[in-house]
Structure 1
């Protein structure tokens, strides 16, 4: 598994939660900042009330590419805990007015600036920076983020995570990339690691497909347990071994917090993404960055 290309960039001052006075000055997208978030959808509240689900109901990482099939899986919302200490998360987000291509645009556009990242989840996102080759302005949006690493600090529940998310090709998880026409579907795929030490601890997929009134996102996470591994040939000793032990048994509280976080941020994003993306596209046509 490839190592992160560069060390985590650190800000000149300590990151903070929320927008501070003046932080959005001069930002054309400032009007999209909205600290008020909608309640959790009913289908997510119902899934959380059911508690952990039987592991056989979960989509396995080996068959993740079947998310591109029509219909729905056995577990679309909720979480499961496995004997090795790992957990599986599933969440469905309905996104009226959104297209799959808008999600490819978002996963390119938001990564380079903390303020953009904070738009996504006002209650949890703290910091963002990007490591990767400069984006080719003429390349499809999906190609602009694949191969790069997003360094993010975010709260999952009450715990602050300092993460490195390496975006990889959907084919790595069994998707047919020829079948991912961004007008109809996309799959945002990543390897999730820690940003300050060379340790990976899971995988994520957001599969987005067009539906009658917009799009729906089906998110999946495989975290902890046997998914914990060192990056770049690092030895699992000392501080790294301690960090690995802490990630191997995540538990129900962490699983519930991840379901809530994913649903909150994706529903909040869906509320402003169509207008934001359209305004960016108009500005780009006029030559504005």
Structure 2
């Protein structure tokens, strides 16, 4: 897997190196990294994967996360890498406010225990930019979360998980859903007392290609099963054409 770098036409900015320009994910125009990985100056490992989910929509994608897939459904989602799956907190039918407790492989790496805590997109994006993107159709789904490494991951005083950031930003097209998945590993580990050099050490760059492939694979697998599952589980509110 080739490490993709910024080109001369789109230089790296101080904001991207120091924090990350979340609002840029709301713009459908090609980014310098759509699929690839790189180390930011802050020590954070940025991993990106674009997946074309044919036949899917943003509504389907949001529904899937809100359905809180259990161990069986989690295996359907990625039959190679996904293992244990349980959920805590939040409200049924909605991902925001819930925590997904998982064990999974990242493309051949040993089992990883992770906490994925889903947050409101308002935490990540400028309100006006996010609202405009939804209204224009540039964004049809946004599943955003904090990622903790280990089921006992460090937390803030308010209980929110520290470790990394996960963003799945989708856009509906005529053929299906364009899914941008971006991960910022080690994003807030400095809050746990780590320096950029320590973050760089804690978050091994070898995770880059493994996580990239895992993300592409899991949403390719999901695209094959999501449309019929969504139709079957929402048949009371859908008009379903007969195949005959």
Q: Give me the TM-score of the superposition, normalised by structure 2.
A: 0.78
Q: State whether residues 168 and 181 of structure 2, in contact with CA within 8 Å, keep that contact through their aligned partners in structure 1.
A: yes
Q: Tell me what 1:209 maps to.
A: 171
2-structure distance, mates of 1:265, 1:174: 25
Match of 1:27 in 2: none
Task: Indicate conservation of the 8 Å contact 2:189/2:199, yes or no.
Answer: no
1:190 paired with 2:120, answer no
**1:247–1:122 distance in 2 versus 1, CA, 3 Å:** farther
How do 1:62-141 and structure 2 match up within 5 A?
A: 62-111=20-69, 113-135=70-92
- Which whole-Å deviations, capped at 9, do the CAs of 1:185-233 have from their partners, x for residues lacking one? 1111000013432322100100001112111001111002x53256xxx
Pair 264,182 (structure 1): closer, same or farther in 2 beyond 3 Å:
farther
> 1 or 2, which has the higher helix percentage?
1
Query: In the aligned structure 2, how far is the partner of 1:181 from the partner of 1:280?
Result: 27
Shift of 1:85: 3.6
1:259 has 2:212 as partner: yes
Q: Is the 8 A contact 1:185 1:209 kept in 2?
A: yes
Aligned-partner Cα distance in 1 for 2:124–2:182: 12
| Residues in 2 aligned to 1:106 and 1:209: alpha-carbon distance in whole angstroms | 16
CA distance in 1 between counterparts of 2:135 and 2:115 reads: 27
Which aligned segments of 4 or more residues in structure 1 are displaced greater than 6 angstroms? none
Aligned pairs for 1:1-289 (under 5 A) are 48=1, 50-51=2-3, 53=5, 60=16, 61-111=19-69, 113-135=70-92, 144-157=94-107, 158-176=109-127, 177-179=130-132, 180=134, 185-199=140-154, 200-224=162-186, 227-228=188-189, 248-282=201-235
The unaligned stretches of length 5 or more in structure 2 are: 155-161, 239-244
Corresponding residue pairs, total: 217
SS of equivalent residue, structure 2 residue 21: helix
CA distance in 1 between counterparts of 2:199 and 2:40 reads 16
In structure 2, do the counterparts of structure 1 residues 264 and 57 end up closer, same or farther at CA, with 3 Å as the change threshold?
Answer: farther
CA RMSD, Structure 1 to Structure 2 (Å): 2.9
Between 1:190-199 and 1:114-123, the stretch displaced more is 190-199
Would the aligned equivalents of 1:66 and 1:175 in 2 still touch at CA under 8 Å?
A: no
In the alignment, the residues of structure 1 paired with residue 65 and residue 126 of structure 2 have an alpha-carbon distance, to the nearest angstrom, of 18
CA distance in 1, matches of 2:232, 2:95: 20
Separation in 2, partners of 1:278, 1:67: 29
- 1:159 and 1:82 map into 2 onto residues whose CA distance is 25
Verify the 8 A CA contact 2:6 2:33 in the aligned structure 1. no
* SS of structure 1 residue aligned to 2:235: helix
